[in-house]
Amino acid sequence: MEKTNLGNLLALYPKPLTVVGAEVDGKVNWLIVGHTGIIGHDLLLVSMSKSHHTNQGIRKSKKLSVNLVSREMLSKADYVGSVSGASVDKSGVFDYHWGENGSPVIDASPLTMECDVVDIYETEGFDNFICSVAGTYADPDVLDDNGSLDYTRLKPVLFTFPGYSYLATGEVIGKCLQLGKEPSTCAKEPMTADGIVRLSKIEVYPEHLEEYKKYATEIGEISLRTEPGVLTMYAVSEKENPCRITILETYASQEAYEKHIASEHFQKYKQGTLHMVKILTLSDQTPLDPANRINNFIQ
């Protein structure tokens, strides 16, 4: 397929949306920044227009904080990018505390890096602050069981230019450098007008519960990994009665659902579990917010 020449468009987007915090003339100031980058494994770049009031404070103190933006704090983050600290006191927009390295840290940010400026690279109209990371602070809710960052929990807001739009992070579709070794989900189709959201309510005979769970786990893993039209397959059991199982299933379209039930792995599940199931109820649902859906991934 022939590609369209867009000229010299810089199209390396989206980028993580951040709020930079710094002290300017004895006052805390916040600025939304969408142009950040990574230099090697231990430095980051924060690129800011020379016109920003914040720059003079960073140049003086050589310190700043980079606060990732969650959906909950997005409206405030958007606001601090719409007014200048030269004329508006933005110090009270966010609740904050002083970090161990001496820069302001936003309490609501799920992840903050305190940075020292080690160099300033100037380009036409921009101050580009090259920074080392003095400390990284994460909300416990965005860490996995091993204490490492889990970006499926963090879900930082993304920024795209020149459209000036905020985007949500996507689903995990595979492990880097492991695609040939471990299963991962395939790219997913968008939900269409005839997409299906369904709750499958199942009661399993107690003597078959463990065997049924193996079948259900297998069908979920294979469907998510191999079928672009299977968007969600999330199974849970009741705590008080584990034999009662509910599966949230979403399909991109009626066609995707028909392909799914015709597949070899579904037929294996269906035929293999017929004698295990006491009650099966299929209940189609209407999403309250059609734009919001669960992103499944295989970990």
Query: Is the predicted pLDDT of residue 176 greater than 80, yes or no?
Result: no
Q: Identify the residue with better confidence: 167 or 297.
A: 167
Across the chain, what does the average pLDDT equal?
91
Is it true that 15-167 and 196-284 share their CATH fold? no
pLDDT score for 89: 95
pLDDT score for 202: 97
d(CA 266, CA 233): 12
Query: Is the predicted pLDDT of residue 188 greater than 90, yes or no?
Result: no
pLDDT band at 299 (very low <50, low <70, confident <90, very high): low
pLDDT score for 4: 93
d(CA 44, CA 128): 10
pLDDT score for 178: 59
93: closest CA among 115, 58, 69?
Answer: 69
Q: Render pLDDT for 25-77 as a digit per residue (tens, 0 to 9).
A: 999 999 999 999 999 999 999 999 999 999 999 999 999 999 999 999 999 99
Question: So where are the chain's domains?
Answer: 15-167, 196-284
Q: Render pLDDT for 235-293 as a digit per residue (tens, 0 to 9).
A: 999 999 999 999 999 999 999 999 999 999 999 999 999 999 999 999 999 988 877 76
Query: Is the predicted pLDDT of residue 205 greater than 80, yes or no?
Result: yes
Give me the phi and psi of 245, to 5 degrees please.
Answer: -120, 135
Q: What CATH superfamily is the domain 15-167? A: Electron Transport, Fmn-binding Protein; Chain A (2.30.110.10)
The answer to whether 122 touches 90, Cβ cutoff 8 Å, is no
Helix-strand-coil percent breakdown of the chain, rounded to 5?
A: 20, 35, 45
Q: How much is the pTM?
A: 0.67
pLDDT score for 295: 65
Q: Does domain 196-284 have CATH number 3.40.309.10?
A: no
